[in-house]
A and B are shown apart, each in its own frame.
Chain A
Amino acid sequence: MREGRETMSVPVLSVRDLRVEFVTRRGTLKAIDGVSFDIAKGEVLGVVGESGAGKSVTGSAVIGLIDPPGRIAGGEIHLSGLRIDNLPPEEMRRVRGRRIGMIFQDPLTSLNPLYRVSEQLVETIRTHTNLSASAARKRAIDLLAEVGIPAPDKRIDSYPHEFSGGMRQRVVIALALCAEPELIIADEPTTALDVSVQAQIIALLKRLGREHGTAIMLVTHDMGVIAETADRVAVMYAGRIAEIGPVRDVVQNPLHPYAQGLMGAIPSLEADAQRLVQIPGAMPRLSAIPPGCPFNPRCPHAFDRCKVERPEAIQHAEHRVACHLYDQSPARTEAVA
């Protein structure tokens, strides 16, 4: 079983009860409220949710890029056993880049438009390894070839604007791979790309994870991308994980009412539906998260307990789901009776 394997080897990324807050004039907003998950070596964890669910903030917290007024208010983040959430900025800077690679949504903002791709790659490689300039350049060319850029020995001296969107994202992926990191955080890596290019980038990420044993945290709002790429998926809602489990189970047999609504809302290429499943209302603002389960005002199955008591994550088969409906403890039985 998965649990047994995880205790045997230390997960690449382990997040425990993470809390991120933003202090504003109108009070403290809890952007992330008690999020826990692990990513094993070579595993792709998809993090899915709608805008404002806290998926990107989770990614930023892991790489230590939460800027004030935001701060990590609690919990622990471990990278292969090393606690990284309380490292001094200088040490964190070395971890970031060498041990954690990053891929962001917009490839144009991740690359410096004034420098040739070769300069950016060589600089990154030399920062994190002790290769000579010529060896670093050779490695940069190999990396570009690996991410599927044709004629990399010629293209390496181009500027970012000379690449198309898909090619630029490949350069960003090459940049993230420079130091052979253990973990890659990919935040909406294909959202800015066309479908045909998106498919190529997804295939590339999958292959890299497999070949290098890199753990990947794939943040996206696109369920299709998750279904194609991820091994496990975490569904986030209002700063919490509503459900986490193997991707096939969560996509085809979601347990949490929010996850069920989310899956039903996606128009399909195969199935015919006269109407899409509609979740009434919208995600609450961070300043007005309802007490109890944050989903209760929109939930078709909400009962009294949901309005007062926050559901803890419950192990249900291979899923972990934060919903009172699946609580088999005496309290639940009483509430129903």
Chain B
Amino acid sequence: MTERPFVEVNDLRRVFDVSKPWLNRVLEGGEKQYLKAVDGVTFNIAKGETFALVGESGSGKSTVARMVVGLLPPTSGEVTIDGVSMSNAADAAERRRLRRRIQMIFQDPYASLNPRWTVGRIIAEPIRAFSLIEGEKDIAARVGELLSFVGLHPADGAKYPHEFSGGQRQRVAIARALASDAEFIVCDEPTSALDVSVQAQILNLMRDLQDRLGLTYLFISHNLAVVRHMASRIGVMYLGRIVEVSEGRELFTSPKHPYTRMLLDAVPDVGMTGRQRIPVQGEIPNPINPPAGCTFNPRCPLANERCTAEIPPLRSGVACHAVQEGRLAPHIAA
């Protein structure tokens, strides 16, 4: 029997009510409006693996991240971590124990750290919240250890967040995530606010920590090159759905979904290989009123009548009628 995946996300959905206020609706005769931010997302993450979700703004990747850590209740669907359901109220005690093992790193290290707390107190907070270590002295020792873990000095614990640069703050955020002995870390655009040389430092640190501590990552990013560097498996999201899932490198050598191909062609290329590219067309449509059928159909060069009527299911890693019908010539790798 195969081992159960560490993280299982099953048919996750989230709908936001974006209607105008009740009075406006009555006076202006408007209807209720709903935004399907996440529309049936399913994936698994094995222990020690990095699974990445990549997509443009509005594709729903951050909403997935927030639901996986439990910051946002899903409208329907289920997140199961190490066999424990996050939404099933029956094992609440077990869920609390589970919470300790899940942490999140946010995009903006300026907003995610309390400016009035010292860095030491910020990092000690999860230790106190879960009563992991008793005694101030031992807690302080652990904080110092965590700080040197992420490449800061133990004495930095006495400083405030504003005394650090963006990259150092992101290190503090990582130290806080590790403070509760987390095993699963959800990283929502952890390096998007950082300069490239600092981004390299943080990405290297995250990989080192994964090797040392056997961490499992859910890595959210819009940057395909970063995702390629970090992830063992990648899911590409478009308008709330996963359109393609693939082993890390395979996505870049043989992308299947037309959207993935378009996205890869759009990335500015430092290598300047001069490869032929398909010009990108259009923009992500308004998610409040998405196109019928496959949501990519208005921008897709291969769309036909079936694509405008029927939502393609995710089959063998790709959700596309054209691929499943064999209408798409295999991608010629550059």
Interface of A toward B, CB cutoff 8 Å: 50-51, 164, 166-167, 194-200, 202-203, 221-225, 227-229, 247-248, 251-252, 261-273, 275-279, 282
Q: Which of B242-282 contact A (CB under 8 A)?
A: 249, 252, 262-273, 279-280
Q: In the complex, are the beta carbons of A196 and B196 less than 8 A apart? A: no
Cα A278 to Cα B207 with chains together (Å): 13
The answer for the CA separation of A277 and B273 in the assembled complex, in Å, is 21
Number of A-B contacts (CB under 8 A): 120
Interface presence of B222 (CB below 8 A): yes
Min Cβ gap A165→B in Å is 8
Question: Shortest Cβ distance from B288 into chain A, in angstroms?
Answer: 13
B167 CB contacts on chain A under 8 angstroms: 282
A197, A269, A275, A278: the one contacting B224 at CB < 8 Å is: A269
Q: List 30 A-B contacts (CB under 8 A).
A: A50-B195, A164-B283, A166-B283, A194-B283, A195-B263, A195-B267, A198-B266, A199-B279, A221-B195, A222-B268, A223-B270, A224-B269, A224-B270, A225-B268, A228-B272, A251-B270, A262-B197, A266-B196, A267-B223, A267-B225, A267-B226, A268-B228, A268-B270, A268-B271, A269-B225, A269-B252, A269-B264, A271-B271, A278-B197, A282-B167
Query: Bound state CA distance, A11 and B140, in angstroms?
Result: 61
Query: B164-196 vs A: 1/0 string, CB under 8 Å?
Result: 010110000000000000000000000000011
In the complex, the answer to whether A248 meets B266 with C-beta atoms within 8 Å is no
Q: Which residues of chain B have C-beta atoms less than 8 A from A279's C-beta?
A: 197, 200
Instruction: Select one of A198, A225, A248 contacting B272, CB under 8 A.
Output: A248
Report if A194-B268 is in contact (Cβ < 8 Å); known contacts: A199-B280, A200-B280, A273-B229. Answer: no
Q: Quick check: A194 and B57 within 8 Å, CB to CB? A: yes
Beta-carbon contact of B196 and A50 below 8 Å: yes
CB-based closest 3 A-B pairs: A224-B268, A265-B200, A50-B195
Q: Is B24 in contact with chain A by the CB < 8 A criterion?
A: no
Q: Which residue of A lies closest to B282 (CB)?
A: A196
Residues of B within 8 A of A (CB): 56-57, 165, 167-168, 195-201, 203-204, 207, 222-226, 228-229, 249, 252, 262-273, 279-280, 283-284
> Which residues of chain B are near A273, meaning CB under 8 Å?
229
Query: For residue A167, which residues in chain B have a CB less than 8 angstroms away from its CB?
Result: 283
Known: A50-B195, A282-B167. A196 touches B266 (CB 8 A): yes
Which residues on the A side are within 8 Å of B267 (C-beta)? 195, 199, 224, 269
Whether B270 contacts A265 by the Cβ 8 Å rule is no
For residue B197, which residues in chain A have a CB less than 8 angstroms away from its CB?
A: 50, 261-262, 265, 278-279
B279 partner residues in chain A, CB cutoff 8 A: 199-200, 203
Q: Are A252 and B204 in contact (CB under 8 A)?
A: no
A60 to B81, CA, bound (A): 51
CB neighbours of B272 from chain A (8 A): 227-228, 247-248, 251-252
Q: How far is the CB of A227 from chain B (nearest CB, A)?
A: 5
Partner of A196, one of B168, B204, B229, B280: B280
Q: A251 vs B274: C-alpha distance in the bound complex, in angstroms?
A: 14
Q: How far is the CB of A299 from chain B (nearest CB, A)?
A: 13
Contact A221 B268 (CB under 8 A): no
Task: List the A side residues contacting B200 at CB < 8 Å.
Answer: 264-267, 276-279
The reply to whether A195 and B222 contact each other, CB–CB distance below 8 Å, is: yes
Give the secondary structure class of B's interface. Answer: helix
* Chain B residues within an 8 Å CB radius of A276: 200, 203-204, 229
A194 near B271 (CB under 8 angstroms)? no
Inter-chain CA distance A260–B270, complex, in Å, is 13
Interface residue from B56, B201, B225, B264 paired with A194 (Cβ < 8 Å): B56
Closest partner residue, chain A, to B207 (CB atom): A275
A228 and B225 within 8 A (CB): no
Residue in B222, B249, B266 whose CB lies within 8 Å of A199: B266
B270 touches A202 (CB 8 A): no
Verify B284–A269 contact, CB threshold 8 A: no
Bound-state Cα–Cα, A261 to B57, Å: 30
> Contact between B56 and A228 (Cβ–Cβ < 8 Å)?
no
Kindly list chain B residues whose C-beta atoms are within 8 Å of the C-beta of A272: 249
Nearest CB in chain B: distance from A52 CB, A: 9
Q: In the complex, A196→B203 CA distance in Å?
A: 24
C-alpha gap A223/B225 in the complex (Å):
12
**Known A223-B196, A273-B229, A282-B165; contact A197-B283, beta-carbon cutoff 8 A:** yes
A269→B260 CA distance, assembly (Å) = 13
**Neighbouring A residues of B265 by C-beta, 8 Å:** 199
Q: Which residues of A contact B57 (CB under 8 A)?
A: 194
Shortest CB–CB separation between residue B122 and chain A, in angstroms? 21
CB distance from A235 to the nearest CB of B (A): 12
